[in-house]
Each structure stands twice: as structure tokens, then as C-alpha cells.
Amino acid sequence: APTIHRADYRPLAWTVDTVELYFSLDAEASIVRNTMQCTRQGDGPLVLLHEGLMREDLTVNGAPPKAMRDEDGRIEIDLDGEDAVEVVVVTRVNPSANTELSGLYQSAGGLFTQCEAEGFRRITCFPDRPDVMTRFTVTLEADRRDYPVLLSNGNLVEQGELEAGRHYAKWEDPFPKPSYLFALVAADLVVLDRKVTTVSGREVLLQVYVEAGNLDRADHAMDSLVNALRWDEETFGLELDLDRYMIVAVGDFNMGAMENKGLNIFNAKYVLAKPETATDVDYEHIESVVAHEYFHNWTGNRVTCRDWFQLTLKEGLTVFRDQQFSADMLARAGGETARAVKRIEDVRVLRTAQFPEDAGPMAHPIRPDAYQAIDNFYTATVYEKGAEVIRMLHTILGPEGFRNGMDLYFSYHDGQAVTCDDFVEAMSEANGVDLDQFMRWYSQRGTPTVHADVAFDGEAETCTLTLTQSRPDKDDEPLQIPVAVGFINAVGDDIPLRLQGEAEAGATTRVLQLTERQQQFVFEGLRPGSVPSLLRGFSAPVVMAINESDAQLAFRMAHDADPFNRWDAAQRYMTRTLLAMAASDAPEVPRAFIAAFDTVLNNIALDPAFRTVALTLPSEAYLLEQMDVADPAALRRAMIIMTQTLGRALADDWLGHDEALAVPGEYRYHPGDAGSRALRNLGLRYLCAANDHQGVGLAELRAANAKNMSERFGALMALVQSPAVEAAQLALTAFEQTFGGDALVMDKWFAVQAAAWRWSPEQPATLERIEALTQHPAFSLGNPNKIYSLFGSFFRNNPAEFHRPDGAGYRFWADRIRELNARNPQVGARMARMLENWRRYTPELQQLAREQIEGLLKEEALSPDVREVLEKALG
Ligand code: DPP
Ligand code: ZN
């Protein structure tokens, strides 16, 4: 596929003012009649894009076009002398044959659409680019019995019966929108309604549509939607602009959810929840994804992207908004620690998924310069690092300055398709702050490093902090990096800080602006031995490099007043200990490490939720990234010894906390309760890893009898992730018998088995287990959630079993890529990415991986998505 460059952007010569779509819906043969009123806005032909369409008719002002070219999915029609024309296109599509789940497709007997990024051109011919904003009127006509519910964007203006058991509904969206925000649903669904009054006093109808039988799982999504609506009113003064806002859950969906104007379509796993089937983590994810899509209504829909290179304009900003929202919700119920734990979880995701991406062959700036398949750029970099860049602006400008910038951004650009520059310029202008240097964050790739050097002068009681930044790409262009800094005294208290030249000491955390390659900051009144705590709250998406002894890390683990850094100290200590163990012939957990761990575990002044994140080992993906040569087998051996040691050495403590933290009463989704459950689940993990008799007994009981899925699944996971092979098998079978008919719960059942470590030689190899599971009746290659659960969690979360020395994991991977490439290239490309960092591994593994990647590249029918990933991987 050709490479598309950001620099080549040109506006189109023609735009579409209004479009009328008439769908005669049918699972095998839907007819789409598309009537566009087009107007000229520059020199050149009218352009229509299409992919895989059967075209039945195309006319301009009622006649076949005179001068028309049609090549590679691009129609160009010369219309010299014309300034306005009506174009009609009639196409025929087969939703039941659409396994890519892009465009119009079938799921569980219903019809659904997914148009971002380029799915609309698989429905009709259209200038399918985000900078073409059009008013849509949509009529859906279908069989009433099979498709009783007919939905599209905007307001329902007409509906009625037709002959032969058919009916219709007509929808009008009052807001011009790009085609990627178009949606329709025709299905047999039930609905949860709620009416709320917006801040300006308008009554609006909120709806959550689910399959019959799932109505008892829709309340949490609805509550989340109401909370999001209120939060955006209060925090940003942004009100819902529609009379009706719909969320529809669908079982087969490539992404998490989609923010179509007024008609969000969601992967069912981000809608459906009840205590018996959803974990605390599911509840948290639903809250944040519902909010994310709702927030897009302003950041994405009212103001959209000029081109797909600007994706982070809407995604980075909207992820930042949903993170802030979730943090506020959690803090409201669970206090400031709950907010900090949310921040820690977000950074953990960044380090696990984005840091390796930014160090690998797919590394790209948050605003990429080039791509072959845009679907490959819905990445952790665009989303998560993009959100960190917005967060830095928030830090630099402060909450009020940021809000003023948002207000100005909307006042300038409402109803427009704009660029990241437009956003940052509004922030700059509203605050009178020069952000030219800050803009470099949009074009840099790779994770920058900040080296810190701390020098005390005992006599003068000063401390000089020298910060040096380096970029992996352009080292001569320093970035603007806000570095939040604190110092802790010998008894563990934060010290009020005074920078040289200041009259008196002030706050205990100061945000320093690092703008040069190297800068010195002199603090006065600091005694030698004060312990620096740098990059508090993870104030910038960088690696902070500082020489710290184990003792200093243990001290910060016990005392750092910044909860993020307290967690981070634990992560650093764990990382260096695990890496040393992985490099050792006789790995052992040092006593001092166990003592530091013990101190946190038994500090009951700390929230259980915080203790849980602090005592959770870093992900293997992150740890492998820290190894000079990634050796999954050596790391796994270290992980096993580490978990078994912590389970055995602290067994009584884990058991004591398990009893003390039992949550009485009915399940409720609440950060306090969730924290207690999480710490108990973590305890079971360590206890079962150590094959502790009592721990295994508790896990068996809970896996069988727990009233809620958080506890039940936590126990199941502890058993599967342990040497207690028989107990695990019994629990898995019982779980399957109870939940075999529940697709979302079975996703968990597949995922937990795919992530299983091998604790003893008696345990079957995970790969063989996965191969058997692909034959399970609940598994389906056509369902993306199943792919992510069974294959994704194996490739991503189980490096030692995936990167097997015999290469069987890689052969399995290549076979799955072949299958998925043909069936669903977007999902196939995501799975293909799971081996992109193959050059990081041992020479033996590299050789085996290379063979498989090269073999795949010889395939003729490789989709552009998969090809781009593999070619870049081979580089
Ligand atoms: N639906 C995806 C998201 O909300 C892409 N826009 O991030
Ligand atoms: Zn989004």
C-alpha cells in the first residue's frame, strides 16, 4: 500500500453539504441509496472514495457522469463549469459476509456499523475524510420482526409501517459531521431509558440498548453516562447538545467503543455489568469508556480532526478528560488515595504498552508523519502518551489556564475540522504563554530520559539538582519537561522548599520547568541526607534516571508523601531485584527486599487499594524492556521464585489481612470495597503461588461460592496461576459449567488460561492448552473479544510460554496471523504487532521469530494493515 504523508494534506475541491441515505436493509443484500448535494470550494474534480462495493448506479444531476476515472478505490469526476451538483450513488452490500467488522456488518442477527476510520466508504461512495462535514438524513427500512429497533444519529423524525412486514424510521442529525461518525443499528434490542435535565434546563433522553435478557446489566453504564454528563458541565462548561443520546452494546466489535454522534456503539464488555458477572475492574473500565465516548461529543465531534494524522487531537485530549473524570469519581467515593491509585494504574498502562512501542519499530510521534494503514495508528502512543502531553499542558498552565484555553479553542473552532497546532495555539493565546518549544512533543518519538544528579553542600545547606535531558531522536532540540520535585527529611517528612533567590520556603512539591539540555536548580536550607523524590505524580512521560541505593528506595517506599512516587520506588526496587535474579544462576530474594515489602503490606494506615498496586510486581512486558537482552525464560524463573518467596515468607500476614479485609454485605462498586477485594485477591495470588495449604483452600472456596465476580475470578486466577494443578482444573471446570453460556464471562475464562505460567513440569504447556481451547464451543474466530482473550493475552501477558525455545509459540502466532489476515485485518494487525520487538530477544529466539515473519511476508494476499506491521518489524 502507498505511504500517506502528513505534509501532503490538501483540502478537497468539492464538499458535501447534505446527504440523504436510504437503506433497504437485509442481512445478505442491503441496498444503499445515497443522495449528496455537493458544492465546489476549489479547483479540481469531485472525489469519492470506496472499498469493496457493488455499485449499481452513479449519476450526476440525474445523468451518468461524462468524465470520470475510477482507480484504486478513488473516483474522480470532472465537473468543469459546475459549482453545485446532486450526486446519487446506489450500492449493494452484504453485511453477513463482512468479517472485517468495518462498514455495515452483522452481529448476533442484528446489523451494526463501524465507520472510524475508513469504514463509511465500505457502505457508499463518499469523500470519506474527516474534513468533509455534512448534514445527514437517514431512512432505515427493514423487516419488522427481525429488526424491530432502527436507530441512526440525531433525532427520530418519522417512523411507520410498510408492506410485507417491513417498517421504517427516519433520523435527522442537526449537526454537520464527518462520515466516520455516521452510525446505524437495526436489531432486536431492549432499552433502558433515563431522562435528565441539562444545566441549561433542557430535558434529554438517555438510552442504553442491550440484547433481551441483559437489561439487568445496563444500570452501571447508565449511571456512568449521567455522571459524565454532569462532570463535563461542571468541569468544562460543556453541555449535551442533543435531545437524545444512545448507547448500543454489540457482541462483535473491533475496538472498545465508538463515539458516533448521538449513537455510540459499544463493545458489550464496556457496557454490561452486574456483580455476579463483572469484576471491580470491569466496573471501572465501563465508567471510563462510557465517559470517554461521551466526552468525544465535544472533543472529537463538535471539533473534529482535519486529517487522521491529527488523531491525538481528539484521542489524547479525550483520554486525558476521561482519566480526570475517573479520578474525580474515585476521589469522591474513596478520597485522595483513590485518585492516586488511578494515576498509578494509568502510568502502569503507559509503561507496559507505550514505552515498548516507543522503543520498537512502530515508534512514532503522537502526531505521526506517515502511515500506510491508519487503523494501525490507534496506538498507545497516540492515546496514552497523547494524554500525558495534554496533562503536561494542564500542569504548566494550571487548571484555570487550561480551562481558559479549552474555552478559547471551542470559541474559535466549534464546527470545524482542525489540527493539533490549532489546539496548542488556543492554549497559548488564552494564557499569553509561548508554547513553541512545547510543540516539539508532537513531533518527537521515543521516550526521553531525564538524568538527575544531586549534590549537597553541607556547609551552606544547599542542594544543587542537575537535570539533563536526552531524546532518542533529535538530541539537539530539548523539550519542555515539567519535573515535579520534593525532598524528604530523615524522619520521613516532606521539606518545604526554597529555591535560591526566594525569600521564604513554600510548598513541599515544586514543578521545575526543564527547557535546556541541562539545567541546575539550587535549593536552600536542605541538609545532606535529605532524600530527593523526583518526577512526582509522573509529571512528564519520561524515564527519570537517578542513582539510588536499595536503602533509599526502601525509605521512599515507606515514607514518600507522594503516593505515585511511593509506588514508583517500590516498582524500582522490584525491577532491579527481579533483573538481578534473572541474571543470577542461583536466584534468591534478598532479605532487605522482603522486609521492605513486609513494611508496606503491614502498614494498615495505607489504603488496601494502594497496598495492592504497591505490592503488585511490574508487568513482564515492562521488565523485558529493561533487560539488555530480553530473556523471557530467565525472567519467568525469577518471577516464580519471587512470588513463591513472598507467598511463603509472608503467609501469615496475607492470611491475616484476608480475614481482616473481608467486605460484608451486598456487593457495591466502591473504591474502598474494591481495594479490599483487590488486596485479598493479591494475597491469594502469592499464597497459591507458594502452594500454601490454607491459601489454596480459601481460593477453592471462593472460586466456587463467591457472590461476586471480583472475588470469584480473583480466586480462579490465583489457582490457575499456581502449582495447584488439580485444584485449578476443578475450579476451571466448575466455572465453565456455571458461565459457559455467557460470552463476556467466558472471555475471562479463556484469558486466565492463556496467561497461565508453568509452575511445575506436570502442568501442561500453555500453548497446547490454547490449541485445545480454540476448539471450545464458546470460542469463535469471528469474535474480536475471543481473539483478544485467548490469543492476545497469551502473546502479551505470557512471554515465557509464547517465546518458547522450540519456536512453537511463533509458529502458532504465524498461523493465527494468516487466518486473521484473511478474516479481519485490523485485528490481525494488532496480533501481528505482538512480535514486533523480536530483535530485543536472545539470538536464538530472534532467528526463530525472523523465520516466521519472513514466511508471512511471502504470502501474496497480505492486507495493507498486516503488511505494514510486518515490514516495519523486519525493518
Ligand atoms: N472509538 C475509538 C475511541 O473512542 C476511536 N475513536 O477511542
Ligand atoms: Zn476515543
| Averaged pLDDT, 459-468 | 97
Ligand 2 centroid – CA 364 distance (Å): 18
Which tens digit of pLDDT belongs to each residue from 279-313? 999 999 999 999 999 999 999 999 999 999 999 99
In this structure, the residue with its CA closest to atom 3 of ligand 1 is 258
In this structure, the residue with its CA closest to atom 6 of ligand 1 is 258
- Asked if the domains at 192-297 and 451-540 fall in one CATH topology, the answer is no
**Which of 648, 642, 621 has the alpha carbon at shortest distance from 632?**
621
Q: Average model confidence (pLDDT) for the chain?
A: 98
Indicate the pTM of the whole model: 0.99
Ligand 1 nearest atom to the CA of residue 289, by list position: 4
451-540 topology per CATH: Immunoglobulin-like (2.60.40)
- Catalytic position from the list 100, 293, 425, 700: 293
Ligand 1 centroid – CA 300 distance (Å): 9
Question: Is the Cα dihedral 253, 254, 257, 263 positive or negative?
Answer: negative
With cell 509452575, the residue in question is 759
Pairwise CA distance, residues 78 & 140, whole Å: 32
| Averaged pLDDT, 366-392 | 98
Cell of 804: 518458547
C-beta of 257 in contact with ligand 1 (< 6 A): yes
Which tens digit of pLDDT belongs to each residue from 142-158? 999 999 999 999 999 99
Ligand 1 nearest atom to the CA of residue 315, by list position: 7
Best of 266, 378, 830 for a ligand 1 pocket test (most atoms within 8 Å of beta carbon): 378
State the pLDDT at residue 580: 98
Pairwise CA distance, residues 276 & 711, whole Å: 10
- H/E element, 801: helix 799-802
Reply yes or no on whether the pLDDT at 328 is more than 90.
yes
Contact of 536 with 561, CB cutoff 8 Å: no
Reply yes or no on whether the pLDDT at 238 is more than 90.
yes
Helices (H) and strands (E) in the chain, counts: 27, 31
Pairwise CA distance, residues 268 & 821, whole Å: 24
Helix, strand, or coil (residue 313) = helix
Pairwise CA distance, residues 179 & 842, whole Å: 46
| CATH architecture label of 305-442 | Orthogonal Bundle (1.10)
Pairwise CA distance, residues 749 & 516, whole Å: 51
Pairwise CA distance, residues 130 & 36, whole Å: 16
The phi, psi pair for 57, rounded to 5°, reads -160, 150
State the pLDDT at residue 596: 98
The phi, psi pair for 127, rounded to 5°, reads -70, 80
In this structure, the residue with its CA closest to atom 7 of ligand 1 is 315
Q: Where are the domains of the chain?
A: 12-188, 192-297, 305-442, 451-540
Ligand 1 nearest atom to the CA of residue 300, by list position: 6
Which tens digit of pLDDT belongs to each residue from 415-437? 999 999 999 999 999 999 999 99
Ligand 1 nearest atom to the CA of residue 296, by list position: 4
With cell 498552565, the residue in question is 397
C-beta of 255 in contact with ligand 1 (< 6 A): yes
pLDDT band (50, 70, 90) for residue 475:
confident
**Which of 781, 799, 872, 776 has the alpha carbon at shortest distance from 833?**
872
State the pLDDT at residue 203: 98
Contact of 160 with 177, CB cutoff 8 Å: no
Cell of 728: 485449578
Measured over all CA atoms, what is the biggest interatomic distance in the chain, rounded to whole angstroms?
95
C-beta of 382 in contact with ligand 1 (< 6 A): no
With cell 519535573, the residue in question is 483
Pairwise CA distance, residues 601 & 578, whole Å: 19
**Is cis: bond before 27, omega within 30 of 0?**
no
State the pLDDT at residue 852: 98
Pairwise CA distance, residues 56 & 831, whole Å: 36
Q: How many CA atoms lie within 13 A of 479 on its CB side?
A: 28
Distances (CA, A) of 631 to 350, 626, 628, 792, 814: 22, 11, 9, 20, 21
Question: Which amino acid, residue 408?
Answer: L
Which tens digit of pLDDT belongs to each residue from 348-364? 999 999 999 999 999 99
Say what angle helices 743-754 and 766-773 make with each other, to 10 degrees: 160
Best of 112, 116, 266 for a ligand 1 pocket test (most atoms within 8 Å of beta carbon): 116
Query: What CATH number has the domain spanning 192-297?
Result: 3.30.2010.30
pLDDT band (50, 70, 90) for residue 763:
confident
State the pLDDT at residue 481: 98
Question: Which amino acid, residue 277?
Answer: T
Distances (CA, A) of 290 to 303, 473, 653, 695, 742: 19, 36, 38, 37, 22
Helix/strand/coil (H/E/C) assignment for every residue in 445-493: CCCCEEEEEEEEECCCCEEEEEEEEECCCCCCCCCCEEEEEEEECCCCC
The phi, psi pair for 101, rounded to 5°, reads 60, 30
C-beta of 293 in contact with ligand 1 (< 6 A): yes
State the pLDDT at residue 539: 98
Reply yes or no on whether the pLDDT at 507 is more than 90.
yes
| Averaged pLDDT, 745-765 | 94
C-beta of 384 in contact with ligand 1 (< 6 A): no
Contact of 106 with 175, CB cutoff 8 Å: no
Ligand 1 nearest atom to the CA of residue 257, by list position: 1
Which tens digit of pLDDT belongs to each residue from 792-851? 999 999 999 999 999 999 999 999 999 999 999 999 999 999 999 999 999 999 999 999
pLDDT band (50, 70, 90) for residue 762:
confident
State the pLDDT at residue 818: 98
Helix, strand, or coil (residue 682) = helix
Helix, strand, or coil (residue 312) = helix
Pairwise CA distance, residues 468 & 451, whole Å: 5
Cell of 463: 542542594
In this structure, the residue with its CA closest to atom 4 of ligand 1 is 258
- Sequence-separated contacts (24+) of 433-437 with Cβ below 8 Å: 433/396, 433/397, 433/401, 435/393, 437/478, 437/479, 437/480, 437/515
State the pLDDT at residue 1: 85
State the pLDDT at residue 744: 98
The phi, psi pair for 361, rounded to 5°, reads -70, -15
| Averaged pLDDT, 216-220 | 98
Query: What CATH number has the domain spanning 12-188?
Result: 2.60.40.1730
Does residue 293 carry a catalytic annotation?
A: yes
Reply yes or no on whether the pLDDT at 635 is more than 90.
yes
In this structure, the residue with its CA closest to atom 2 of ligand 1 is 258
State the pLDDT at residue 52: 97
**Which of 273, 258, 264, 281 has the alpha carbon at shortest distance from 215?**
273
In this structure, the residue with its CA closest to atom 1 of ligand 1 is 258
Contact of 744 with 754, CB cutoff 8 Å: no
Reply yes or no on whether the pLDDT at 764 is more than 90.
no
